Structure 1
Amino acid sequence: MLVRDAMTKPVLIVGPEHTLRQAAQLMTARRVGSAIVLDPDGSGAGIMTERDVLYAIGAGKNPDIELVTSHITWDVVYATPEWSLEEAAMAMARGGFRHLVVLEGDEVLGIISVRDIMRVWAQRRAEAALSI
């Protein structure tokens, strides 16, 4: 199976000037663990994850004042929609992260997470067990 078949779309997009609380509220409302951060000045697509919010609050940052821009991961590993799930899982394991931004050219198509991959693999295993 390919990344395009398992990725989450549409993605949640926040701006660098959102507060941490606003980003967390949007992620909570959408029931997702990450948001794409688009920089209007052209720095490309970054990502903010629930882990970034947790670390900021754990460090004593005020979520009502602290801006997303200070907590964005810009050094993102991107996947293409044609990657296999195995390639995506290996990239996550090598990099020690749980989300990959899926790009086609410069366009953000989705996000694939460890949870997305596990869901597909578990579903395949269940289907295989039923066919025995």
Structure 2
Amino acid sequence: MLVSDAMSTIVLTIGPDHTLRQAARLMSARKVGSAVVLDPDTYGLGILTERDILNSVGAGQDPDHERAAAHTTTDVVFAAPEWTLEEAAASMVRGGFRHLIVLDGHELVGMVSVRDIIRCWAPALAA
């Protein structure tokens, strides 16, 4: 099974100037654990996760004043749609993260999470 079979093709994107509270509201409304942060000034892609928000709040920072840019991971590992789910899972384990942005060439085409992979593997495990 491939990443393209498991990934979400509708990806939440935010800007670097969104506050963490705004990001959390959007993530909660979409029921997702991450957002792609698009920086139009650098044309770069980053990722903001629920863990990033949790760490900021846990450190006593104000989510109404903290900006996504300050908490975005920019050293991102990207997946390709033709990767196997095993390759994606191995990449997540090596990197210690639960979400992969999926690029087809330079185009954002999806997001795959540990939960997406488990959903695909669970029917096979139950059989």
State if a TM-score over 0.5 links the two structures: yes
Query: Structure 1 CA distance, aligned partners of 2:45 and 2:83?
Result: 19
- If the length of structure 2 is used for normalisation, what is the TM-score? 0.97
CA shift at 1:125, angstroms? 2.4
Q: Flag as ranges the 4+ runs of structure 1 deviating above 4 A.
A: none
- After TM superposition, the structure 1 = structure 2 runs for residues 11-90 of structure 1, keeping only pairs within 5 Å, are 11-90=11-90
Q: Does residue 117 of the first structure (1) align with residue 117 of the second (2)?
A: yes
Query: Structure 2 CA distance, aligned partners of 1:33 and 1:119?
Result: 16
How many residues end up aligned between the 2 structures? 127
Q: Secondary structure at the match of 1:76?
A: coil
CA shift at 1:44, angstroms? 1.3
| Residues 54-79 of structure 1: per-residue CA shift (max 9 Å, x gap) | 00000111001111010000010000
| Residues 62-109 of structure 1: per-residue CA shift (max 9 Å, x gap) | 001111010000010000000000000000001111011100111111
Q: Secondary structure at the match of 1:45?
A: strand
The letter for the 2-side match of 1:50 is: E
The percentage of aligned residue pairs carrying the same residue is 64
Over the residues paired in the alignment, what is the CA RMSD in angstroms? 0.8
Q: Secondary structure at the match of 2:16?
A: coil
Structure 1 residue runs without a partner (length 5+): none
| Bigger Cα displacement from structure 2, 52-61 vs 37-46 | 37-46
| Residues 13-35 of structure 1: per-residue CA shift (max 9 Å, x gap) | 00000000000000000000000
Query: Structure 1 CA distance, aligned partners of 2:109 and 2:49?
Result: 17
Pair member with larger Rg: 1
CA shift at 1:123, angstroms? 2.0
